[in-house]
Structure 1
């Protein structure tokens, strides 16, 4: 059966969709969708291909948009996407993920977790997260107090990991009723010397699961790059060989649990752009023991863009595609696992997120 590759892009001014055949040489661009709202994350439901987009801001409020016809028409809902009376209001929806049972998880700002059992038409809070004793210690990162990563277990619908800036990684065994922190071994360089490895308070930037290995997680942190082999109970630094210990996005290979991609920036206070103004995606093929820079087709002079935490993704074709979007509105893609890149869209608004789906033609 012929297949089409869909690249879903969330931006400061709406969602955009790019499509290509399996060769991934020529792309068509459509958008902006979602009435040009700020859109933080766009995903497709496995199996159905229904597209969901999370967004909003303090002016619009939060919402999750839905399209069942590849972007031609959209509806949106915020029913139940709110905290109780007297609490800080939910400003925006930030992240989306589908559990093994088909439920839709939604991360919001201020950091909290919601779930929908009816395809994004209504939501309820998984309140166990905000009821954790650490809640009083959560502090907003530069972008706010955001739940920006949701990693459901691929087989067990009761298990889910989330990441919050700046609170850390938390895990639930019971569908969101209770959570425990999973941060041992990750640094807080901004803390006093005697508090560099707290139980919570870390500024996580990206969190992904290795394919076929639910206990292996990769994390890009404000303070380093890490891998865990036990579901986040213990983390090990894998930043040796990288040009910086700072960056935002991380993406797993779709089939090989030892392969992981990231895009380091030059540092938290040095400008947050690609090191030396030379763009590269960095790939490890041995679970972070070593790294190689992938630069073919990427600008190697005067490139001062950043790449945000959800703006790096892979597709599941063979060989896998690798895609990232920049703060300058350019989208790059590779059809050969990073061997070479090409510009596939330009002059978009600031890119917040990049995700992919492979659908029937």
Structure 2
């Protein structure tokens, strides 16, 4: 059974959800699958108000997409009778996929954001049970020109500042948009981010930004992993500059930042466009501790040969000290590091295509679920 210092790792795949738990981030017990034969592209773990709520975006080929939540670590799951996310009448749209579930700050308990396909942003004030469409972004005059990335039209990154008024959203394709009034109005903020595949490689919007994340310690600093290009902004996305020098490739999907320390971020480079595999078939995470001035290759415990990619939300960090780093591959392997990427160990293998990974410290006892746990010990 888990203790107050236990950790939960939620793994969303192309064919279901698995949950792992550990008292020390070294020895893991894995249970599942939940939602077998349904795609799970998004997960949010909400530990505010002294509880743990797991929210999952589930997409069934038969029943369609929705958001389920569990307050007992997967023992039971609940969905509102009318669904969690439904487009209002008159929008002439239907939900295709939930790409992102993002619990807001501790100072705004109950507020949860979602990014969806078709490209849209939603907000819940009841812990993720019911969401309301953000009309400011949905009615934006640029929306008709936003396109779909290779995996679909995705509003995949939502970053909110401490005040709740400054919100950044990134989408594929469309780029980065910023609101300074809590989401009522939005403007593109992509200066410096390349869109080499367009007639104008430096457009106002239309970039295929793969992921953005905020520096936890420096206000206004953001990082972006683009479709070719790794960038940093120090002025709330007004301007972006390349920080890709020192990386083996500037393509990839992952962008993670440290929960407390300034200047620390992680990426997982891929060789692209045609191959989309780790450079030379050797999987590695790269970390910067100086805001992109230099990068350190981290591959201790990772396989010597790996030809599967890591998707944008198939990686995360936890809030422990030192921070834990986790990621999963399209080949179904999941890796965990309890020391900020210096050493990795495999938590799970032979799962379906990993789409999303989220981790958090939890206080309730772990509920193993119907499949029962199996121990995974990492020496």
Aligned to 1:28: 29
Q: Does 1:257 align with 2:262?
A: yes
**What secondary structure does 2:253 align onto?**
strand
1:75 corresponds, among 69, 75, 78, to: 78
Cα distance in 2 for residues equivalent to 1:137 and 1:83: 21
Write the distance in 2 (CA, Å) between the matches of 1:305 and 1:56: 23
Cα gap change, 1:314 to 1:79, in 2 (>3 Å): closer
After alignment, is 346-355 or 32-41 more displaced?
A: 32-41
Change (3 A) 1:252 1:300: same
**Which residue pairs with 1:215 in the alignment?**
220
User: What is the Cα deviation at residue 120 of structure 1?
Assistant: 2.3
1:12 maps to what in 2?
A: 14
Aligned to 1:162: 169
Structure 1 residue 57 displacement after superposition: 5.3
Partner of 1:283: 287
1:190 aligns with 2:194: no
1:173 maps onto 2:180 in alignment: yes
The residue that corresponds to 1:224 in the other structure is 229
Tell me the equivalent position of 1:134.
142
Structure 2 residue aligned with 1:37: 38
Pairing 1:335–2:338 present: yes
Q: Helix, strand or coil for the counterpart of 2:176?
A: strand
How many pairs were matched up?
A: 355
Aligned partners of 2:349 and 2:285: how far apart in 1? 18
2:154 is the alignment partner of 1:146 = yes
**CA offsets 1:216-235 (integer angstroms, 9 cap, x no match):** 11110102000111111111
Aligned to 1:63, the other structure's residue is in SS state strand
Contact 1:62-1:81 within 8 A present in 2 as well? no
Shift of the 83–273 alpha-carbon distance from structure 1 to 2, 3 Å rule, reads farther
1:58/1:91 contact within 8 Å kept: no
Shift of 1:146: 1.0
1:316 counterpart (314, 319, 335)? 319
Distance 1:226 1:57 in 2: 35
Contact 1:55–1:94 under 8 Å retained in 2: no
Q: CA deviation at 1:307?
A: 0.3
Structure 1 residue 99, shift from structure 2 partner: 2.1
Query: Is the aligned partner of 1:61 residue 2:47?
Result: no
Q: 1:311 to 1:214 in 2, by over 3 A?
A: farther
**Distance in 2 separating the partners of 1:342 and 1:59:** 36
Q: Which residue of 1 aligns with 2:247?
A: 242
User: Residues 79 and 280 (structure 1 numbering): CA distance in 2 closer, same or farther, change over 3 Å?
Assistant: closer
Higher relative contact order (CA 8 A, sep 6+): 2
Q: 1:306 to 1:80 in 2, by over 3 A?
A: closer
Q: Please list the CA deviations of residues 2-38 of structure 1 after superposition, one character each: whole Å capped at 9, or x if unmatched.
A: 401111111111221111013x211011122235421
CA distance in 1, matches of 2:84, 2:68: 12
3-state SS in 1 of match to 2:135: coil
| Higher deviation after alignment, 79-88 or 273-282 | 79-88
Partners of 1:320 and 1:123 in 2: CA distance: 31
CA distance in 2, matches of 1:334, 1:122: 34
- Structure 2 equivalent of residue 120 of structure 1: 128
> Which SS does the other structure have where 1:133 is aligned?
coil
Gaps of 5+ in 2: 365-379
Q: What's the CA shift for 1:58?
A: 5.9
C-alpha distance in structure 1 between counterparts of 2:249 and 2:67, whole Å: 35
Distance (whole Å) between structure 2 residues aligned to residue 264 and residue 275 of structure 1 = 7
Give the C-alpha shift of residue 355 in structure 1.
1.3
